[in-house]
Amino acid sequence: MKKTLAITLSTLLFSAGAALAQQSVTVSGVVLGTGGKPIPKAKVIVRPALTTGQVDVRTNANGKYEAAVLPRLPYRAYANAEFKYLGKTYCLRVAPEKSEGYEVFTPTKNLVRNFKLKLSGEIEDLENGFWGGEIRLFRRDVEQGDTAELTFTPQGPLIDGSTGKVLRKTEDEYLMVYDIPIGRYKVSGVLRKANGSKIPLLLSNNDDQYQNEALFEFKPSGCSVATHGIERGFLYYKPVTSAEPQP
């Protein structure tokens, strides 16, 4: 009986494995930068949505990849790529090229999932998430109803080598500004009073040595398949007073 049972189980397992192998398919595609150039050595992760068995592959010199021999299971596909910038190594998540690329898929035939780097815009599968960085603001000597309006002026190219634009951001009710492409910026600002008047701001990276401009850059947070791969930034500000001349 035991021998018969063992043979039966072995036969079932072999048959299941053979059937699974016959049903296996591939997921392939390309990983591109913001300007459409291929990103070599980017990492593509094909992860089962309900179980284990993650497949990791790297893109070739043309940014192409192929994850072969995938059983028919629900999967999600992710990509990230490393960039050297300002003396640091950033590992950024690369966005699916199309909205369907965020969805769970069960491969019944060979599929294509392409990716393209984004430095700004909403992350479709992350609630309140953005491809750009976010900054938490800390205010000093500010009255209720006052709001900071900040100007971010790029200092050199962005992390992907592209030319950045001057950004104007207004803090929200949580003292946050969002979706700032990764780069180095000079930050200046004004405080908009409840009565509509505006007062110049002094800014600081560490609540010390306030100046009328602060030099700001984001720090890397490591590889992730969910977030963009950069840490939240912090800035401090206070209004210039009549007794306190601007630096």
pLDDT in tens, 117-139: 999 999 999 988 999 999 999 99
pLDDT the model gives residue 123: 94
pLDDT the model gives residue 8: 28
pLDDT the model gives residue 133: 96
pLDDT the model gives residue 68: 84
**Who contacts 243 (Cβ-Cβ below 8 Å, separation ≥6)?**
none
In this structure, which amino acid lies at residue 232? Answer: R
Q: Domain 133-239 maps to which CATH number in 3.30.160, 2.60.40, 1.25.40, 3.30.1180?
A: 2.60.40
21-35 pLDDT, tens digit each: 445 788 999 999 999
Counting as low any pLDDT under 50, the low residues of the chain are: 1-22, 242-243, 245-246
pLDDT the model gives residue 108: 83
pLDDT the model gives residue 64: 97
Give the start-end residues of each E strand in 4-50.
25-32, 43-48
pLDDT the model gives residue 69: 65
Nearest to 139 by CA among 201, 185, 214: 201
Query: Domain 24-116: which topology?
Result: Immunoglobulin-like (2.60.40)
Nearest to 93 by CA among 44, 60, 137: 44
pLDDT the model gives residue 212: 95
Distance CA 247, CA 245 (A): 6
> Token pair of 187, please?
């930050």
Beta bridge partner(s), residue 115: 31, 96
pLDDT the model gives residue 23: 57
pLDDT the model gives residue 80: 94
Give the start-end residues of each E strand in the chain.
25-32, 43-48, 55-58, 64-70, 75-85, 88-96, 111-112, 115-116, 133-139, 147-154, 167-170, 176-180, 184-192, 198-204, 214-217, 233-239
Q: Please provide the size of the chain in residues.
A: 247
Distance CA 196, CA 171 (A): 16
Judge whether 202 and 238 are in contact, CB under 8 Å: yes
* CATH 2.60.40.10 domain span(s) along the chain: 24-116
In this structure, which amino acid lies at residue 223? Answer: C
**Who contacts 216 (Cβ-Cβ below 8 Å, separation ≥6)?**
135, 152, 184, 185, 186, 187, 205, 233, 235
14 CB burial (10 A radius; 0-12, 13-18, 19+)? exposed
pLDDT the model gives residue 15: 35
